[in-house]
């Protein structure tokens, strides 16, 4: 399902010379291995610190932070799988590893399964965090009875199991149906996340207006709305920018694999993988580092290693 290396692209036949004039590049875009390794390492360290901070501070032992911790673990796996695959391909290219093609294919399948599983779990926990925040706002008084520790554990286990089993099936049965399932999954998560956050923003705006009417302050709803709009734009903007190109690539494979415009888009596949890794770098900033309690614990963790 995924290319054999981070700098590979989907292999599709070139119909004719029309593509060469239509597309700005003749060959697939090649991203330096150093960039994959740098971003992967940065993401791994960043998310590892988030996990360490949540484990260390008992005040952060709540369902919301458990979900953020699982998101960090998923992003760590995205980084590890990409760094591992890049390193493996570099060792083969430079002759350090001399192994049979069958072994290379086996290792590649394992890496692809790990990448697929981590991507699915990362997307799933983004959706779970959105649902958790929705419950926090709309059912604040009942939150602790709705999102209990037991239910949080069940959700976490279910996400990891579903991601692992699905990725194994996807790699074993590489086909158009697999790509279609991934696209449907992404569109479902996109609809869920977008719908919940827009609804939450709408409620926050209405709440701010009521408070301003009671206190007779006209500027309060404006600043609150602007802050909420900025937060919403960041959340959805990062989601679209980082995940959109990758899944658009999959959609185009389904609907127009032989069209010149689509084949041109396929040549930038390695760039779309870079954006997915960038999402793993940005997630802790959006979902974890905005918490004052977590930032304080994070400083303590960093000081312990310094």
Q: What is the mean pLDDT of residues 146-164?
A: 94
pLDDT (tens digit per residue) in 160-208: 999 999 888 887 776 788 888 888 988 898 899 888 888 887 877 676 6
| pLDDT tens digit sequence for 94-106 | 777 777 788 878 8
According to CATH, the topology of domain 30-305 is Rhopdopsin 7-helix transmembrane proteins (1.20.1070)
The whole-model pTM stands at: 0.80
Output the six-digit token pair for 239. Answer: 């989601």
Q: What is the pLDDT of residues 51-71, one digit of tens each?
A: 999 998 888 899 989 999 999
pLDDT value at 292 more than 50: yes
Domain ranges in the chain are: 30-305
Rounded Cα–Cα distance for residues 207 and 209 (Å): 5
> Could you give phi then psi for residue 28, rounded to 5 degrees?
-55, 140
């Amino acid at each position: 399902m995924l290319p054999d290396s981070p700098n590979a692209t989907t292999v599709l036949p070139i119909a004719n010379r029309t593509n060469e004039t239509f597309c700005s590049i003749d060959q697939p875009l090649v991203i330096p291995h150093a960039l994959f390794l740098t971003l992967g390492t940065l993401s791994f360290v960043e998310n590892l610190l988030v996990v360490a901070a949540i484990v260390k501070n008992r005040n952060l032992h709540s369902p919301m932070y458990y979900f953020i911790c699982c998101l960090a673990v998923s992003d760590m796996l995205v980084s590890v799988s990409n760094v591992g695959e890049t390193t493996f391909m570099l060792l083969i290219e430079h002759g350090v590893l001399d192994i049979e093609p069958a072994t290379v294919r086996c290792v590649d399948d394992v890496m692809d399964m790990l990448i697929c599983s981590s991507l699915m779990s990362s997307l799933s926990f983004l959706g779970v965090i959105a649902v958790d925040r929705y419950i926090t706002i709309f059912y604040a008084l009942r939150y602790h009875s709705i999102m209990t520790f037991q239910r949080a554990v069940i959700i976490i286990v279910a996400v990891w199991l579903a991601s692992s089993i699905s990725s194994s099936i996807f790699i074993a049965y590489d086909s158009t149906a697999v790509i279609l399932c991934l696209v449907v999954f992404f569109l479902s998560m996109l609809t869920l996340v977008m719908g919940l956050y827009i609804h939450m923003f709408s409620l926050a705006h209405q709440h701010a207006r009521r408070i301003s009417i009671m206190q007779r302050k006209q500027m309060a709803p404006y600043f609150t709305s602007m802050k909420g709009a900025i937060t919403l734009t960041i959340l959805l903007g990062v989601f679209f920018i980082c995940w959109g190109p990758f899944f658009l690539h999959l959609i185009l494979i389904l609907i127009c694999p032989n069209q010149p415009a689509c084949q041109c888009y396929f040549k930038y596949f390695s760039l779309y993988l870079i954006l997915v890794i960038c999402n793993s770098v940005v997630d802790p900033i959006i979902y974890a580092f905005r918490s004052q309690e977590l930032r304080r614990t994070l400083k303590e963790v960093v000081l312990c290693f310094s």
